Amino acid sequence: MSERPLEGRAGLVTGAGKGIGAAVLEAVAARGARVVGMDVDQEALAATVGRATAAGGTASAAAGDVSRFGDVEAAAGACRDRYDRVDFVVANAGVGNYSLMSDGDPEAWRRLLEVNLLGAAYTVRAVLAEMKRRRSGDVVLMASIAGRESWVGEPIYIASKWGMVGLARSLREECAPHEVRVTVVEPTMVDTPLVRSTEDGRRELDEYPALSAADVARFVVLALEQPPGVSVGEIVLRAVGPEIA
């Protein structure tokens, strides 16, 4: 088997500056894909692209905000311009919010839904017509175990991830006749800068086992490397040990 099984393919990874997105970009580049990373944090994105290229991969950056459709269109266009095609997208960009419904900040909620849910929809919209015409392509949506389970403290985040899982399931029905594959990935807690950026996140990392970003990236690669005619529809990843109640 080739050590670079994604050779010749090109794609876009959003939220690629840090955490899961950075791990995914580096992993697919290491497997031979040519990849454009998108992120609002230009410095972090440049570092990710630098690591991928230093390791022998082909990667480039497209700064932008997934909550603006024009930015996502531009990033997808950059992939086409630089690498002649877009074979896959990984809609990973996301933000979190710890709050109760009774005391949360509505503006923070709006921003979360625009990034997590609309951002994923915009990412798909920017590439799907092309994939349908070619009758090939992969769409990977980075959801969460929060897209199938619920708890106190993150109601709008949970709503966004339930929305992503629903989006993936509907999208799969739309894409099946066109031979475009759709995968939704639903990990439990992942040790990322996003989680570590809040006091609640750091506390939970101290109390419960967590996956690494590289753990999640391996399964994104697994979905992308399936042979034609095989689609990995839904991946649930759990860290071994007690889970957050």
Instruction: Write the pLDDT tens digit of every residue in 30-85.
Output: 999 999 999 999 999 999 999 999 999 999 999 999 999 999 999 999 999 999 99
pTM metric for this prediction: 0.95
Length of the chain counted residue by residue: 245
Taking the C-alpha atoms of residue 197 and residue 148, their distance in angstroms, rounded to an integer, is 24
* Domain chopping of the chain, boundaries: 10-232
* Cβ 76 vs Cβ 127: under 8 Å: yes
- Name beta bridge partners: 187: 237
pLDDT at 134: 96
Q: Which sequence positions are flagged as catalytic? A: 157
Fold for domain 10-232? Rossmann fold (3.40.50)
Question: What's at 151, amino acid-wise?
Answer: W
Rg (CA), the chain: 17
